[in-house]
Structure 1
Amino acid sequence: MDTHNLIKMANNIGAFFKSEPDRELAIKGVEQHIRNFWEPRMRKAIVEYVQQGGTELMDIVSEAVLHIAK
């Protein structure tokens, strides 16, 4: 799985939801989008990236991914 491509895709999702004034709703939006539209291998790869200390994701995306990891 190409992690750089997943990071780019995840940050694009984050950029869309960043305009949401309610930060928690933005995080939930990112989380829900990734849960609904990414296949399990993609979700697993991005969760592993965040858990290993990856820093290239927007903050709302990182938080959403951590919710997915639970």
Structure 2
Amino acid sequence: MANQIGAFFGAQKIGAAAGMAEHLRKFWAPHMRETICEHVRHGGVGLEPIAIEAVKILDAEKKGAA
């Protein structure tokens, strides 16, 4: 699902990762966001670069808020 969302936002070119991160923040449950952040921390196998970049944005925001 993350790769499909990334493909949608990737078509926008500018701000794609930030847009995807915002979408995940708004529409994914906290446990889903944590699960994908953990997956990216361990390499993000199977995720497209745009999805990895977006998840890293989310993870960095979470760490900054802690």
TM-score interval, smaller chain: 0.7 to 0.9
**Alignment-derived partner of residue 40 in structure 1:** 30
What root-mean-square deviation, in Å, do the aligned CA atoms of Structure 1 and Structure 2 show?
Answer: 0.8
**Alignment-derived partner of residue 11 in structure 1:** 3
**Paired positions, count:** 60
How far apart, CA to CA, are the structure 2 residues paired with 1:32 and 1:16? 13
Could you tell me how far 1:53 is from its partner in structure 2? Answer: 1.0
TM-score normalised by length of structure 2? 0.85
Structure 1 ranges of 4+ moved more than 3 A: none
Equivalent AA in structure 2 for residue 27 of structure 1: A
Task: Return 5+ residue gaps in structure 2 as ranges.
Answer: 61-66
**Alignment-derived partner of residue 63 in structure 2:** none
Give percent identity, aligned residues only.
Answer: 45
